[in-house]
Structure 1
Amino acid sequence: MGTPLLSIVIPVYNAQETISRAIGSILSQDFKDVEIIVINDGSNDRSLEFCENIARNEPGIRLFSIENSGVSYARNVGIEQAKGKYITFLDADDYYAEMALEQVAANLSPDTEMMIFGYNVDFENKYTDCLLPSEQVFTFHDQHRFREYAVSLIRNEMINAPWNKVYLTSYLKEKEIMFPADLNIGEDLKFNLSVIRDIEHVKILNMALVNYCVKKGEGLVSRFRLNRFDVRYALLMEIRNLLSYWGLLKENQAMIDRFLIRDIMAYFMDFYKMNCDLTYKKKLEIIKELLSRDNIKKSLNNSQFEDFSTRIIELILKTNNTRFILFTAKILNIKRVAR
């Protein structure tokens, strides 16, 4: 194979139930100018066997096996191996819509550095589309205009994932942009913040081209992480620094404050995940310590919110009543479980 238009990187870890569908959704496309880079990340189920069986008859598939190192490291291996002019990523439990790659190829321009498209949320075969705030196809050739638009993507959390984006491979490699392998929370967002920092030529394709699969209760069984808030806060400061670099911080400070309020309460809600073994006393101590930090107090005191739900949570946090705050987190977690 020469230089394909598109490299599709699929990190695989114990995905024997879904990997055939993911790869099949690429092979079934009419558009064939692609290479499929499958990174087996130390799976201990039959994922590797399934991938080998498919790759045996498909010369466009390049299969690599590594020791289990995490999704970011696996994607970075894919970036290093990519031969395509453009690169994108597909998770092993997701799959492309029909004609998705044809739409991508048809709308790439010679100077496109990045493409962003919509997606479907597949919740146990019930679909909800997540589209972008724009007309169907739109091209940015001006940094300032894209940056103003990117703020809306950050606000709606459409900038986070890498699987609804296509990247110019040379752009990533020349700027040495890789996924942070030392993170297991927010690594996708950190990667994309690096990508959009100085980007200029961006194509928006307001079509749902990939199906993002969510299983019932999936988020509830994820592990409690004691450092979750600190990692999320560091990411929030990266967003803040990016907006400052763009000269767009002042008019978007309320968004930063809203994210902070959300992340604080979400962290307290995580105290009720099944694997959290913190005692009641320890939970209260963590709440007290976090809310006593100068940077948190300053943000809470300066915040102003128009939306009712965020305002209520802000007022609850400002009480500094640790028992009341913990009780509120418990109620909100019960509502989250019931969804």
Structure 2
Amino acid sequence: MENKTLSVVVPVYNGVNCIKDCLDALLNQTYQELEIIVVNDGSDDETLDILNEYAKKDFRINVFSRSNMGVSATRNEGISHAKGDYIFFCDADDYPEPDLAERYVQAINEWENSDMSLICCGMFFDNRYNKNVKNKKCLLESAYGFVEGENYLISRAAASTLAWLKMFNFVTNKCYNLNFIKENDIKFDRNINIGEDLRFNLDYLDKCSGNIGVINKCLYHYVKRTGDSLSITYHADDLEDTKYIYRRFINWITAQKGVTEENILVVKSIYINDWVCRLSSMYEASLKRKTANTKDKLSKELKSKEFQTTLKEIYAAKKISTLRYVCLRTGMFQIFYFFRGIYQFMKG
């Protein structure tokens, strides 16, 4: 195997309960040519002590500390310090399989003379919050002829399929060309709270014309540790940020060579789902804070031409259930939210 150094950036904030598992998994990789850059984002617990302890044990760990600025700014700092040939990202509360780095390097060597932009791998979704919920595996499906463990070079238009399978919108299951990132000044947008991973991927692919390499094996564990079953923390700009990034994603997928109507509809269905998630977050926040005019805002969003047109399109394509469609089509958001809450509770 041709030697290549992989840089891995690990942003961490108050990670005393998880950072050891993450670092142990990185240090125990079967491929050892790693540069592990851990950026402490202003932790006020014992995280930094743990990081310094690990750095003394292994020269590959480089620790940097900064005031709290959020995950995007922290990843950007990690990129600025990285010196490897390729780079991947690992969140402090997640962890990789032992052969993640090795499989990345094998794929890089396999596609070195091919038109390849980035490499993506399958993901485990581990639910440690609710032990009654089974862990999930997300990878290209055998029903469509894909074999688990094999490598595939797929078209950019197939990013819609990866997004549907929860494999595209993340950065933590991907390996990127570090020099390309630096030469093109590609950074995470530190001014948004949502969709920063998807925006980074589109920024990267906008500047890189190659196809997408897929290692069809789950190599990264995304770990759910808290009970955020109904919604994520709501920020005032989340809704507009979501609409911006999905409009861009739809325009991007539409422009790809060989794109089909199905590819576009898949992205639109994900758009509606995330749009509704943001509305649910807004609604939930209003219940807690008794915010005025939320009902009017919800009604305006649901009645908007863009929402209604996209909703009709995905319903015609059978990408949304009739119950969800009717509730959203007629503006019965409270009923929709009630049933969504039951579903999310059961899902954990």
Q: Is the counterpart of residue 129 in structure 1 residue 133 in structure 2?
A: no
For the 8 Å contact 1:117–1:206, the answer to whether it is kept is yes
Specify whether residues 310 and 239 from structure 1 end up closer, same or farther in structure 2 by C-alpha distance, changes over 3 A only: farther
Structure 2 residue aligned with 1:283:
294
For the 8 Å contact 1:261–1:313, the answer to whether it is kept is no
* SS of corresponding position for 1:190: helix
Q: Is the counterpart of residue 35 in structure 1 residue 35 in structure 2?
A: yes
Q: Is the counterpart of residue 325 in structure 1 residue 329 in structure 2?
A: no
Specify whether residues 36 and 281 from structure 1 end up closer, same or farther in structure 2 by C-alpha distance, changes over 3 A only: closer
Q: Distance in 2 between matches of 1:221 and 1:44?
A: 26
Query: What aligned pairs does 1:98-109 form with structure 2 within 5 A after superposition?
Result: 98-109=98-109
Which deviations, in whole Å up to 9, do the C-alpha atoms of 1:199-257 show, x marking residues without a partner?
Answer: 31543211111211112513447322343322211111011110232253745442344
Which deviations, in whole Å up to 9, do the C-alpha atoms of 1:148-169 show, x marking residues without a partner?
Answer: 3222112333101111111111
Query: Which of the numbers 315, 318, 323 marks the counterpart of 2:326?
Result: 315
Normalised by the length of structure 1, the TM-score is: 0.87
Query: What aligned pairs does 1:163-312 form with structure 2 within 5 A after superposition?
Result: 163-197=172-206, 198-220=208-230, 222-246=232-256, 248=259, 250-271=261-282, 273=284, 276-279=287-290, 282-300=293-311, 303-307=314-318, 309-312=320-323
Task: Give the Å deviation of 1:325.
Answer: 2.3
Task: Give the Å deviation of 1:103.
Answer: 2.4
Q: Distance in 2 between matches of 1:168 and 1:97?
A: 21
Which deviations, in whole Å up to 9, do the C-alpha atoms of 1:35-59 show, x marking residues without a partner?
Answer: 1000001111111110001101211
Aligned AA for 2:307? I
Q: Distance in 2 between matches of 1:317 and 1:34?
A: 49
* SS of corresponding position for 1:53: helix
For the 8 Å contact 1:117–1:132, the answer to whether it is kept is no
Structure 2 residue aligned with 1:119:
123
Q: Distance in 2 between matches of 1:13 and 1:261?
A: 31
Aligned AA for 1:25? A
Q: Distance in 2 between matches of 1:10 and 1:106?
A: 22
* SS of corresponding position for 2:57: coil
Aligned AA for 1:243? I
Structure 2 residue aligned with 1:16:
16
* SS of corresponding position for 2:160: helix
Q: Percent identity?
A: 26
Larger displacement relative to structure 2 (324-333 or 177-186): 324-333
Structure 2 residue aligned with 1:146:
155
Structure 2 residue aligned with 1:80:
80
* SS of corresponding position for 1:211: strand
Q: Distance in 1 between matches of 2:317 and 2:305?
A: 24
* SS of corresponding position for 2:293: helix
The unaligned stretches of length 5 or more in structure 1 are none
Normalised by the length of structure 2, the TM-score is: 0.85
Aligned AA for 1:242? W
Aligned AA for 1:6? L
Task: Give the Å deviation of 1:308.
Answer: 6.9
Which deviations, in whole Å up to 9, do the C-alpha atoms of 1:271-319 show, x marking residues without a partner?
Answer: 5546853548633211222133333344345554343743432222222
For the aligned residue pairs, the C-alpha RMSD in angstroms reads: 2.6
* SS of corresponding position for 2:155: helix
Which deviations, in whole Å up to 9, do the C-alpha atoms of 1:140-198 show, x marking residues without a partner?
Answer: 3xxxx512322211233310111111111112122222111111101011111222333
Aligned AA for 1:229? L
Task: Give the Å deviation of 1:332.
Answer: 1.6
For the 8 Å contact 2:10–2:75, the answer to whether it is kept is yes
Aligned residues: 330
Q: Distance in 1 between matches of 2:185 and 2:320?
A: 40
Larger displacement relative to structure 2 (130-139 or 163-172): 130-139
Q: Distance in 2 between matches of 1:167 and 1:274?
A: 37
Q: Distance in 1 between matches of 2:296 and 2:5?
A: 54
Q: Distance in 1 between matches of 2:222 and 2:41?
A: 20
Task: Give the Å deviation of 1:13.
Answer: 0.5
For the 8 Å contact 1:11–1:39, the answer to whether it is kept is yes
